[in-house]
Chains A and B, each alone.
Chain A
Amino acid sequence: MERQGPSNTLNSIQLMFLIHTVPIGVGILGLVRFVADKAGHDAPLAILLSGVYTQAAVLFSWLLLRRFQTLGIYDIHRRLFGKWMGSVFSLLFAVYCLFAYFMTIRTFVELVNTWMFPLTPVWLLTLLFMIPIVYSAFCGIRLLGRYAISAFFLTAWIILLAYFPLSTGTLSHLFPIGSVGLNDLFQGSLLSALSLLGVELLLVYYPYVAYKKDVLPAASIASWSTILVYTVIAVVTIIFFSIGQLGKTIWPMLTMFKHVQVPFIERFETIIIAVWLVQVVNTSGTYLWAGIEGVRKAIPLKKGIVYSLIAAATLPLSQMINGRAEMNLLLNLLSKSGFYLMIGYPLLLWLISLILRRKGDAS
């Protein structure tokens, strides 16, 4: 049962939390290692620098969306390229979203396989995680907005645990600040692309946002606070690990929280992984919803059918990917395509719309 009308909207706070939390998926767990590969001890700086990318993405998306009044990306496609071509573009965008949904779930399965259940088949874990993910996407954007708020508060406390790694860390690892040079810093910031993805979904949320005036400030605040979270994590990670050791650690954030010991829980990372599911459902569910929204805009199919088809396709596909090498290849593809889609695509569409003099009408 799909709810129609004004009740199916996002308020500005929900929009803010959505844009803030959706990028924080599985990427953050390995983020600092990637960035430190190039930027070394200046990884926090590189990550801070990558805030420029998300800000640019927000700005370009906003320029495009503002021009088309209440339309979202899928309707803009149709307006710009006509019915058939528009549908093709919408489908492509939807495929990207579904790819992101799939990779999020698959990476998390990989993580659980490594840390908890090494013998459990991939498809079974995928099935398990799909229960909340498909459920949340099926409930629609209003639920996703509400869920983003919960996801934030259910995971925000983790940052407090940084006390433990900080207390045994070496502060001097951070210094001298900014010594790696602009080139390395820039290249390092590009490596954080995977963790930045999620901001581009603003293009899909937009028609549901109740107060369109708030979009630019809300999205900017949200994306910068995401960057802030990443920077804090990066600072703690760099203080905790030596660079050589960091290069050998696949999920530095988890290894770091392995160091947490409280009197009644000897090891914390198991709990962190379990809690992290909250974020994974958030990211993955939102991408799934956004993708299916696109599919349904392009091909008029019943909601239940589309969901069943995509859910059914996820299982064999996830079983098909084997090993870290293949995973890394696909993640690389995702981060590259996502990065261009996030920044370049809205800019491109905006320019096209300027040239073609197409606009959204007031209705």
Chain B
Amino acid sequence: MKRSVAVCLTLALLSAVVLPGCTITRSKVLEELGVVSAVGYDLAEDGGDLLGTTVLPNFTDTGQEKVDVLSVTGHTSKELRFNMSRMSERKLVSGQIRVVLYGEELSRTGILPLSDTLFRDSEIGSQIVLAVVEGRAINFFTKRYPDKPSIDIYLYRMLRKEMSERSMPKTNLHTFIRDVYDEGKDPVLPYLRLGKEDILVDGLAVFHDDKFIGLLNAKEARNLAYISSKGTSTGELEATLKETIRQGVHAHAVLMYIKTSTKWDVSHSGGRPVFQANVLIQGAVSEYTGGHNLEEKQEIQKLEQEFAEEYQQELSALIKKLQKDFETDQLGLGEMYRAKGFIKELEKEKWRELYKQAKIDVKVNVRILQTGMIH
């Protein structure tokens, strides 16, 4: 008897939950949604307003893929969204955004407010890729790319591939926000350029806090990736050797299957921070145009030495560029300095002053693990 009362109560409770559930919980049935997959932000031409562009894949035509591109202007990103939703018959949702592009001009004014909104939105993933584009982001979305997947997928896959191959440091929404808020580090983002029928990843956009201030080219981008994290890469390192083949023509060698690791020694001397990076590069020789026998240990060592010298110069130049030209700390040296306990509380302005005076040295060690099938 008692039990049946309990059951009735439970059933009543269940139906109370179930029935209004249908109407009150705003469902997001897939086909009623405008699933935004890529967003671009620019400064509007007429002044301070924002120009937002979104890409919506349209799945209604079976088989053939179509992409809708909407663009509107507004003051804030939320206003953009409001204005945009008036242009679509579907409900716009941002849970599938994978790529966000910022126009160059806008990036120079600072993009934290825009990316912070993305980060705050619980629907948006933290692994989406951000990039700065040459010119205006809208042009990237309105252009047609024959023989390429739809623009959102194209960009997403390309940038993820570049990062996983360590052609550039790994960046996404989370790392960008993290580095902006980190007192001892400045963020970078990939920099894109429009090609004839495609898009080119053309180095890195360097940020001072959240403001875009300068560019690193592709080679520098790769070097930054090598020095700032540990890992393997399928990329190649090339060096021109002192050895000559003919008159005036130097031999060159290429390293492949590269493994890098960096060890930082942080110290403090004479009121300024001192950083010493010990970079170890291991790899296999995949190309060598010189005439020496690489089976001999001495020759290998000589080759290693030459690689190290060349690469050391490149890295020093990169660090100098960051430290002196841009005055930004993409390597996170401030964080290292703090972690060693030299300053208790890291303040951004104070650190920028210290960073300018810091002494940063790089020492590169190259180790050749194999020389390929021929010598």
A residues apposed to B, CB below 8 Å: 1, 114-115, 117, 119-121, 124, 127-128, 130-131, 135, 168, 170, 172-176, 179, 241-245, 248, 255, 258-259, 261, 266-267, 269, 304, 308
Contacts and interface: CB of A to CB of B under 8 A. Distances in A.
A131 B341 CA distance: 52
Interface in B322-375: 332, 335-336, 339-341, 344
Contacts of A135: 10
Nearest to B170: A168
B181 A124 contact: no
B335 A244 contact: no
A172 B24 contact: no
Contact of B340 (A120, A175, A241): A175
B93 to A, nearest CB: 12
B174 A131 contact: no
5 contacts: A124-B24, A128-B21, A172-B335, A241-B178, A245-B177
Contacts, number: 82
Contact of A179 (B9, B95, B344): B344
Nearest to B95: A267
A133 to B, nearest CB: 12
Given A115-B122, A131-B14, A255-B126, A124 B339 contact: no
Contact of A242 (B14, B24, B179): B179
Q: What are the 7 A-B residue pairs with the smallest beta carbon separation, nearest first?
A: A244-B181, A242-B182, A176-B341, A175-B339, A172-B339, A245-B181, A258-B126
Contact of B182 (A128, A245, A258, A308): A245
B86 interface: no
Interface in B303-333: 332
Given A119-B26, A248-B181, A258-B125, A172 B14 contact: no
Contacts of B340: 175-176
B85 to A, nearest CB: 16
A117 B21 CA distance: 11
B125 to A, nearest CB: 5
A131 B17 contact: yes
Instruction: Give the most central of B21, B185, B339: most A CB within 10 Å.
Output: B339
Query: For the complex, would chain B's binding face be called helix, strand, loop or mixed by DSSP majority?
Result: helix
B320 to A, nearest CB: 23
B246 interface: no
Nearest to B126: A258
Given A124-B24, A241-B178, A131 B127 contact: no
A290 B32 CA distance: 46
Contacts of A1: 2-3
Given A1-B2, A242-B183, A269-B122, 12 more contacts: A120-B26, A127-B16, A128-B17, A172-B332, A172-B336, A172-B339, A176-B341, A241-B178, A242-B178, A245-B182, A259-B127, A267-B125
A114 B122 contact: yes
A135 B13 CA distance: 12
Contacts of A131: 10, 13-14, 17
Contacts of B182: 242-245
Instruction: Give the most central of B126, B175, B181, B335: most A CB within 10 Å.
Output: B126
Interface string B1-25: 0110110011001101100110011
Given A175-B341, A259-B126, A127 B181 contact: no
A176 B24 contact: no
Contacts of B127: 259, 261
Contacts of A115: 122
Contacts of B185: 242
A244 B181 CA distance: 5
A245 B25 contact: no
Contacts of B178: 241-242, 245
A124 B125 contact: no
Nearest to A259: B126
Contact of A244 (B125, B183, B339): B183
A242 B179 CA distance: 7
Contacts of B177: 245
Nearest to A268: B125
Given A1-B3, A124-B17, A266 B125 contact: yes
Nearest to A273: B122
B181 A242 contact: yes
A174 to B, nearest CB: 8
A287 to B, nearest CB: 20
Contacts of A259: 126-127, 174
Interface in B154-193: 170, 174-175, 177-179, 181-183, 185
Nearest to A254: B122
Contacts of B181: 242-245, 248
Nearest to B3: A1
A120 B335 contact: no
A269 B127 CA distance: 13
A244 B182 CA distance: 6
Contacts of A242: 178-179, 181-183, 185
Nearest to A131: B13
Contacts of A267: 95, 125
A127 B26 contact: no
Contact of B174 (A121, A127, A128, A168): A168
B2 A179 contact: no
Contacts of A121: 24
A249 B294 CA distance: 56
A91 to B, nearest CB: 26
A175 B346 CA distance: 13
A168 B173 CA distance: 12
B94 to A, nearest CB: 12
A127 B13 contact: yes
A244 B5 CA distance: 55
Contacts of A266: 125
Nearest to B179: A242
Contact of A170 (B10, B21, B335): B335
A308 B20 CA distance: 21
A131 B5 CA distance: 15
B17 A127 contact: yes
A255 B22 CA distance: 29
Nearest to B183: A244
B44 to A, nearest CB: 28
A117 B340 CA distance: 44
Instruction: Give the most central of A244, A261, A266, A308: most B CB within 10 Å.
Output: A244
